[in-house]
A and B are shown apart, each in its own frame.
Chain A
């Protein structure tokens, strides 16, 4: 039997977290933080080893499979595995978590509990991406809520109780839909119930049943992603979280929504997806524009970046709904890219708050004169976030754009409307990000701020964290195949499945209103864009 890489990656951080009470520490966190960092790094190395040793990017199927009967009476088995959709996200999780440990360096309030929760979350999140059983998935999904809730409620800002409660109500409430849909799918068609993805994928669900399940799951995952109007927990949660928690929320938690949409809604319910996809695309555009505008009007730095996350996740929705390999690949890349960029921006927010002790943009201004390195880091990360070419965000948004624009599943007028609206995001994003930079760093120094605070420039630890995030951001930007090749086969198989469902459905999934546009009469030959020579 090969080495159980994935089980190790899940259980090692959790087990190590349980040992934290025995770590000698004077209570100021100076010893336990090294322990936590060591554990997180080891976990990262385990996932890297899993990728290098046991994972073949060219194989579209499930790999690194481990299956042990757990509670046979309940049909529950410990079943983990990874394919192209989950492997990059597993790596992202362990990577961001180890950086979050480094970001948590200044935490001195109850450090043992803090690191315990951080490591428990690490294992829980890897489990969410790795498990291959819907019941296990549901357990893992719930399990990682607990640490987030506590991290918010104990270490958060002034309104932490409100934010944490809102978070738990939203996500716990919505996850009931996962359970319901999971049970329904497991028991569908009679016979012994099974929650295994492979078993569920092989079932032939009726179309009406698929639609019901799809809607339930869309609500559950839409909260997580988040999809407007299910997003209002996010600005509150993000607004109150501390920097390391923030990095995990933006870097990984949001991606659980996108991953689950691909895994369940697209993979298991392809026919319903063929009907719901236009809705996803429309919601994606709403996300992009609505959140960009709210971000522009926000005066609180954390909430501004939080809304910008929502805006960027809109591209994931469009990509998932695009019915093209390029667009779906773009959605996947956007998740990874935003994981890196979002984490870096939120880390910088935290680092800035440590110095200015305010998040209100009105109370900042001219900070760049004392914090030049910080200014440089902020500038680079903001440019990455506004999809500057040469960085990962550009590639993923471009792939979504090209994939969607050339998708044959939609009528031309629908594609034009969506592409134009999504491209408005291209204008809005620099407006809010650059005016944010303008207000924090540019101009004359705010005398009020300068007299009350001690503005020291970025320290080596902070530069190191950001550099670690920037290396993959720029690496992907320069040569995206570094990452896209690792999941290409799986995404192509997934889109193949989608297309079959589309053909089965017998019609393009276009809202009737949109189909009768001015360009609806174009010959179909034109809709088949030839491949680039």
Chain B
């Protein structure tokens, strides 16, 4: 009987088979397959479920102390080169496998409710299974090359799913933006991989690490080149994990269906960048410059995400910028040389952020019953309020998520975020200060979201706000045709069990999982990296832990308190107190640091203009010369007539006859 680790290749293959089957069905017997909603969903959920069972079996083996398993085969090659593929299972991979399959499974169950009325139900489930397969493949990749393969595949799934509602212009633009921005990152990743292969002759993580530092130490490779290669590779994670300045695609990607935002754009795919950086630790570790750059980029990102989240009125966009910010924390941990802390935050964040997104989906689903299928209305918090009374489960789990992300003990976010801040405090005090400040902002904007959505009174029926929102979005307001499609309820309702159950299930780890990573006895650390965990546990002292933790809790409480005063008790009006007094800052934040505008001007329009100019050159200069020559040589006299009268056969015969004649002529000389 083979061990579960040896069967790890089945984990991505099972969902892939399911996806292929339904995908082929959709292409060949579209109508029939589209009617088989429940069987298809059941098939795909089963395939992901089997992958989940296998993943947990592997995790159990790893917990019992099994070593890493690696299986490789020759994939392509020529001469003395062999490109190898295969799979690798170790503790880090096992944790990620369990995490991804768990959340994918819950999201699929949730989607059964969320997408129930969508005509693309079957297609949606097919994409979900395809994504799960690619993501799981990425997790078990043994080398950089295979990571790159799955890296692109998850990007493709993200493209397909963001553009799922392809008749919406916003979704179409967002999908394209997501893919192209990620390709910019992949540009660096590809070059970095090539460069590292050139320098070390390997695609494997450990070998690259060893040989690269050996080459630098031996003087064979300038340090600058090694650092450059490391940074090129880092461009990939920057794009995938939405790090400044390549984060611009993630908020737009919220145009996809909300279960996707939870699965891909919060819990799994965007974390892949962090995962890759964790895998690359043996490569990055010997170069403090690289670590510093990673830490600084992470810090900029966490600060940027949080500041923009402060002013967002769209519920999902608010959560999206929060994700950007939290991903920044993870990168900061990687830069501080504490991959275990970063990975731990990845795990806890995956649970509570998936729950928050699914909660927001539940809210949007309920809002759509009141305001219709119009994202501009259904996702705007100005139309929400008072939903706690109507949606008790959603609001309770959302509140748990808010507490968890704010870093209030003993919920999950406290332990992981505090560990990162502790590491940053030791490595880069300045960056710690930024992270610390941002922790307060995080608590504030999360509770702002909570209060605006769930407390107060319901504003969904306010026609004035609706008209205002629609006109702000540039759409005709008060259009009677649009107004009443599917809008049939006067107030929102709690979602069905398929949507409520995953929320409840996710609430459990959101509360408890942090306890696995307490700094004095981190079971998570012991599993993933026993050496680092033992070091952390040895150095742990209450005298150092308590003041830092206390300060974090204090600033979070401050943020929560401010949110309570402003949005629950309405004691202070931030609109006039802050936004009114500093309009420049407010505008800066509301325009997302103007980064989208810069991108549009510089890159989008710039590349269009360049392309048009090149085409002009092509058609006027290059082709012009050709046409001119043609005219000069053939334009005079009889020759032209044949072209114009269309006696093509005759002309072709002449050419052919001429050729034969030439051949005979030349041959005669021989």
Contacts and interface: CB of A to CB of B under 8 A. Distances in A.
Interface in A401-427: 401-403, 405-406, 415, 419-420, 423-424, 426-427
A375 B163 CA distance: 12
B78 A488 contact: yes
Contacts of B83: 398, 402, 532
Contacts of B118: none
A380 B249 CA distance: 22
Interface string B187-208: 1001100110111011100010
A142 interface: yes
A23 interface: no
A298 B618 CA distance: 11
Contacts of B607: 296, 431
Contacts of B662: 179
A444 B167 contact: yes
A493 B353 CA distance: 57
Nearest to B170: A443
Contacts of A435: 176
Interface string B152-181: 110010011001001111011101100110
B78 A484 contact: yes
A328 B77 CA distance: 11
A420 B648 contact: no
Given A526-B199, A531-B201, A532-B202, A438 B172 contact: yes
Contacts of A187: 670
Nearest to B171: A442
Nearest to A179: B662
B461 interface: no
A419 B196 CA distance: 13
A531 B80 contact: yes
Contacts of B215: 526
Contacts of B220: 522-523, 525-526
A401 to B, nearest CB: 6
Contacts of A479: 75
B81 A531 contact: yes
A389 B180 contact: no
B187 A423 contact: yes
A265 interface: no
Contacts, number: 231
Given A405-B197, A434-B179, A442-B172, A533 B202 contact: yes
Interface stretch (A10-18, A166-174, A275-283): A166-174
A519 B169 CA distance: 47
Contacts of A139: 659, 663
A480 B75 CA distance: 7
Contacts of B643: 161, 165
Nearest to B645: A161
B615 A298 contact: yes
Contact of A480 (B76, B171, B614): B76
A368 B199 contact: no
Contacts of A394: 149, 152
Contacts of B199: 526, 529
Given A325-B79, A532-B81, A532-B83, A406 B166 contact: no
A326 B615 contact: no
Contacts of A517: none
B656 interface: yes
A395 B610 contact: no
B667 A149 contact: no
B207 to A, nearest CB: 7
A273 B153 CA distance: 38
A512 to B, nearest CB: 23
B79 A324 contact: yes
A108 B255 CA distance: 46
Interface in B3-29: 26-28
Interface stretch (A68-76, A203-211, A350-358): A68-76
A154 B651 CA distance: 13
Contacts of A165: 643
Contacts of A423: 187, 190-191
A294 B172 contact: no
A415 B28 CA distance: 46
A390 B81 contact: no
A297 B614 CA distance: 8
Given A296-B607, A530-B201, A442 B169 contact: yes
B551 interface: no
B604 to A, nearest CB: 9
B148 interface: yes
Contacts of A73: 667
Interface residues of B, number: 84
A533 B667 CA distance: 55
A427 B663 contact: no
A530 B200 CA distance: 7
B173 A326 contact: no
Contacts of B187: 423-424, 426-427
A451 B96 CA distance: 51
A458 B437 CA distance: 57
Interface string A171-197: 010000001000100110000010000
Contacts of B117: none
A431 B78 contact: no
Given A389-B152, A530-B201, A532-B84, A399 B76 contact: yes
Given A138-B663, A146-B656, A533-B207, A481 B194 contact: no
B623 interface: yes
Contact of A395 (B76, B156, B167): B76
A441 interface: yes
B626 interface: yes
Interface string A361-379: 0000010110011011101
B565 interface: no
Given A187-B670, A430-B179, A326 B81 contact: yes
Interface in A210-232: 228-229, 232
Given A369-B167, A372-B30, A405-B198, A153 B79 contact: no
Interface string A46-81: 000000000000000000000000010111100000
Given A138-B663, A427-B180, A406 B81 contact: yes
B648 A297 contact: no
B132 to A, nearest CB: 15
B476 interface: no
B298 to A, nearest CB: 24
Contacts of A261: none
A118 B78 CA distance: 36
B655 interface: yes
Contact of A376 (B27, B153, B175, B655): B27
A290 interface: yes
B389 interface: no
Interface string A227-240: 01100110000000
Contact of A463 (B27, B152, B207): B27
Nearest to B148: A389
Contact of B630 (A169, A368, A431): A169
B582 interface: no
Interface in B629-666: 630, 634, 643-644, 646, 648-649, 651-652, 655-656, 659, 662-664, 666
Contacts of B535: none
B186 A426 contact: yes
A502 to B, nearest CB: 14
Contact of A427 (B156, B183, B634): B183
B201 A294 contact: no
Enumerate the 6 nearest inter-chain pairs by beta-carbon distance, A residue then B residue, closest first: A325-B79, A442-B172, A389-B149, A74-B667, A297-B615, A297-B611
Given A150-B648, A390-B153, 5 more contacts: A145-B655, A297-B608, A325-B81, A406-B81, A430-B183
25 contacts: A135-B663, A146-B656, A150-B652, A293-B614, A294-B615, A325-B80, A369-B167, A389-B152, A389-B153, A399-B76, A405-B195, A426-B183, A442-B163, A442-B167, A442-B169, A442-B171, A463-B28, A480-B75, A484-B77, A522-B221, A523-B220, A525-B220, A526-B221, A531-B81, A533-B201
